[in-house]
Amino acid sequence: GERRTVLLWSLVLYIIANIACATAGSFTLLLAARAFGGAVIAAARVATIALVRDCYHGRAMARVMSIAFMVFMIVPILAPTFGWAVLQFGDWRAIFWTVAVLTLGVLVWFYLRMPETLAPENVLPITPGRILGDWRQTLGDRNSLGYTLASTALLGSLYGYLNSIQQIMADVFHKPSLLALIFATTSVTMAICNLLNSRIVMRLGTRLISHGALSLMILVSLVHLFAIEVGFETLVSFAVFQALTLGCFGLATSNFSAMAMENMGRIAGTASSVQGFLSVTIGAVFGALIGQAFNGTTVPLVGGFLLAGLAALLSILVTERGRLFRPASTAPVRA
């Protein structure tokens, strides 16, 4: 279907979901509205990636995705401050009203400024047979499956970080009051590295950067585990190691996403949804396992990053037939 229509309707429904949250008369209705909002805004994510793939591929797509991911990383850092500012002028319902108004602004801007990116000749019929065929093509493509699995592993480690950081700050370092500072300090490196990637990817290429970042992430995790083993772990060392790890994560994932979509031009919408579903669902399970493994130390989290890095490396080695750091793909790109 048309990218523009899907994205516009997802924004409209997201506005309705936030209004429902703001006016909810019970906690059950609030949860239902939040779940509905999460479901409809997921369509916007899928449509956005498909939209980018319509306009770019390869290194150029990685550059655009890096900028998008940079914004994605900055928003959670600023969100607590934003929420606090809103609460100075109203109760919790004001947060949902504010989100609804901001979404309306995005909706109007997108409606006025963004043309349809899917060429008429590329509009495919929505039938069960066509959908199943697109799924098979998405999962049967070597780049699509391999780099989706690599992204899934790394996303799982990020979920593990989100599940563990509060416990680590409270039970390991006994500094719960510094949670926001440490979270912001370590997370901002992802945004910085995505910005860096947008500047260098056209020159160095997606594979060279992402494979190098993944290798460095594995090395940093190994050194971090060694530091823990010899009793060197402090709050400062933890923050430094995690900042380096998450920076590598940022350099790797935006390029992985671009390479996974490399041959998915005509079915970009379906491919984006399938890849997103796999990454989020499997990654969430892996992240939950890391969180559940918390034992009063930082070992489960750091070990989770190491395992995720090794799993991603294995997937890439299979995908690339053992050849890492290639400057560019030798396979033709499907528009």
How many domains does the chain contain in total?
2
Query: 36-50: string of b/e by CB count within 10 Å (b at 16+)?
Result: bbeebbbbbbbbbbb
- Within this chain, do residues 105 and 151 fall inside the same structural domain, yes or no? no
- pLDDT confidence tier of residue 328, bands split at 50, 70 and 90: low
Distance (Å, whole) CA 319 – CA 333: 16
Q: Is there a domain that residue 7 lies in?
A: yes
Q: Which of 3-7, 274-278, 326-330 has the highest mean pLDDT?
A: 274-278
CA angle 154, 155, 161 (to 5 degrees): 95
Q: Is there a domain that residue 328 lies in?
A: no
Among 181, 184, 179, smallest CA distance to 167 is for: 179
- Within this chain, do residues 146 and 67 fall inside the same structural domain, yes or no? no
Query: 234-269: string of b/e by CB count within 10 Å (b at 16+)?
Result: eeeebbbbbbbbbbbbbbbbbbbbbbbbbbbbbbbb
- Within this chain, do residues 78 and 17 fall inside the same structural domain, yes or no? yes
Q: Which of 33-37, 57-61, 74-78, 271-275 has the highest mean pLDDT?
A: 33-37
- Within this chain, do residues 50 and 186 fall inside the same structural domain, yes or no? no
- What pLDDT sits at residue 155? 93
Q: Contact at 8 Å (CB) between 154 and 308?
A: yes
pLDDT tens column, 102-122: 999 999 998 998 887 777 766
- Within this chain, do residues 312 and 238 fall inside the same structural domain, yes or no? yes
pLDDT tens column, 226-243: 999 999 999 999 999 999
- Within this chain, do residues 99 and 149 fall inside the same structural domain, yes or no? no
- Within this chain, do residues 218 and 245 fall inside the same structural domain, yes or no? yes
Average pLDDT over residues 296-304: 95
- What pLDDT sits at residue 29? 95
- Within this chain, do residues 65 and 22 fall inside the same structural domain, yes or no? yes
pLDDT tens column, 177-189: 998 888 888 888 9
- What pLDDT sits at residue 332? 42
Range of the domain at 63: 3-115
- Within this chain, do residues 164 and 312 fall inside the same structural domain, yes or no? yes
Q: How many CA atoms lie within 13 A of 9 on its CB side?
A: 10
Distance separating the N- and C-terminal Cα atoms of the chain: 17
Per DSSP, 333 falls in state: P
CATH code of residue 268: 1.20.1250.20
Which residues does 118 contact at the CB level (< 8 Å), separation at least 6?
A: 2, 3, 50, 54
